Amino acid sequence: MPTSSDPILRPGVAVLGTGGTIAGVATGDPSLPGYTAGALGVDALLERVPALKRLAAVEAEQVANIDSKDMDVAVWCRLAQRVAHWLAQPQIAGCVVTHGSDTLEETAYFLHLVHRSSKPVVLTAAMRPATALDADGPQNLLDAVRTAISPVARGLGAVCVLQGRVHAARDVTKARADSIDAFASGERGPIGRLRGDDVEIWRRVPDEAGAPFEVPDPARWRRVDLLVSHAGADGRLLRSALRDADRPHGVVIAGTGNGTIHSEIESAMAEARAQGVRIEIASRVGPLHGGAGDGLNAVKLRVRMLLELAAAGVGA
């Protein structure tokens, strides 16, 4: 008689590795904080979570193996292509992406904006390396797979699963640098949680205007800079960028409060707009419901502008 461990009964999930702390290896005593990110391959991560074999039929692929501070659009494009490939396979219920924590929110929002399947993409990370005595990666990976194969996760697009909570890609941000409970979703809060084997979703994710976007060809990516307004600011950085031969096609400015901008920068913004540069304003406080930047933080507003400029063919 078939059991739940038989491949024919287990849902399929593709786990795509990109590196990060979750794949990190201690450089010395595993009880101490020093480690090298992205040292282990995704197969090695899966071996550390034997429960996965009973839960799902797992396909693994190494897309990249980097510290996520070094994430770039080339990896984003490759990752989006491989996600689309796996989700097109009928036996695959969803995709899991293992990722570094530093730029997790940017990659998640990018994948959400280009996502075209009802099957979920679930990103996860860790704050402690895989070789740590109290590594948090294995549980996060197990929870991510549980979410990816859960019927209630269909239609959510890309989400992040960490510390037993499910976060929408639009809302999630890294809020702490020294705690395993490092991620939050601002005023909106998580969209769900895991309780044992069960995945609970409390609210659905609103549609994104203009999405899904095409994954841009390399020649269609445009330069979008990110600047911050602050006490004593002036417009020199923006004016200097405008003089570059490869000047930006767009600029996101993280303003103070609810997106207020220093008057010196406002003057430079007017000059930039007169030259055809698109300017958007977010808040350095973070995502604000109904506030600056359509409620997006500055780095996500930049991700969205990158895709919008590419779709519009700006500068082509």
Structure tokens at 119: 């099957």
Q: Which pLDDT score, from 0 to 100, does residue 294 have?
A: 87
Q: Which pLDDT score, from 0 to 100, does residue 32 have?
A: 63
Structure tokens at 38: 């992205």
Give the count of beta carbons closer than 10 Å to the beta carbon of residue 275: 8
Structure tokens at 150: 């859960």
**Does residue 20 contact residue 42 with C-beta atoms inside 8 Å?**
no
Q: Which pLDDT score, from 0 to 100, does residue 233 have?
A: 95
Q: Which pLDDT score, from 0 to 100, does residue 1 have?
A: 33
| Segment 273-284, tens digit of pLDDT | 999 999 999 999
Cis preceding linkage at 120, omega within 30: no
pLDDT, the chain, mean: 93
Indicate the SS3 state at residue 113.
helix
Query: What would the mean pLDDT of 262-266 be, rounded to a whole number?
Result: 97
Measured CA to CA, the distance from residue 90 to residue 102 in angstroms comes to 33
Query: What would the mean pLDDT of 192-211 be, rounded to a whole number?
Result: 94
Question: Can you list the domains of the chain with their CATH numbers?
Answer: 12-201 (3.40.50.1170), 218-312 (3.40.50.40)
Answer yes or no: is pLDDT of 5 > 60. no
Position of tokens 């979920």? 120
pTM above 0.85, yes or no: yes
Position of tokens 């990816």? 148
| Segment 24-75, tens digit of pLDDT | 998 776 666 678 898 999 999 999 999 999 999 999 999 999 999 999 999 9
Element housing 309 (H / E): helix 298-312
Q: Which pLDDT score, from 0 to 100, does residue 241 have?
A: 95
Answer yes or no: is pLDDT of 290 > 70. no
Structure tokens at 127: 């704050």
Q: How far is CA 255 from CA 224, 228, 282, 286, in A?
A: 16, 6, 6, 10
| Residue 21 a catalytic site member | yes
Answer yes or no: is pLDDT of 4 > 50. no
Position of tokens 């063919």? 313
Determine phi and psi for 221, rounding to 5 degrees: -70, 140
Q: Which residues contact 18 (CB under 8 A, 6 or more apart)?
A: 38, 63, 64, 65, 66, 68, 71, 75, 79, 97, 98, 99, 100, 107
Query: What would the mean pLDDT of 133-155 be, rounded to a whole number?
Result: 96
Q: Which pLDDT score, from 0 to 100, does residue 33 have?
A: 67
pLDDT tier, 291 (very low <50, low <70, confident <90, very high otherwise) = low
Alpha helix (H) residue ranges in 72-227: 73-87, 104-114, 137-148
| Segment 70-128, tens digit of pLDDT | 999 999 999 999 999 999 999 999 999 999 999 999 999 999 999 999 999 999 999 99
Give the count of beta carbons closer than 10 Å to the beta carbon of residue 72: 10
Element housing 19 (H / E): strand 12-19
Answer yes or no: is pLDDT of 3 > 50. no
Tell me which of 3, 18, 21, 27 is the catalytic residue. Answer: 21
| Segment 224-246, tens digit of pLDDT | 999 999 999 999 999 999 999 89
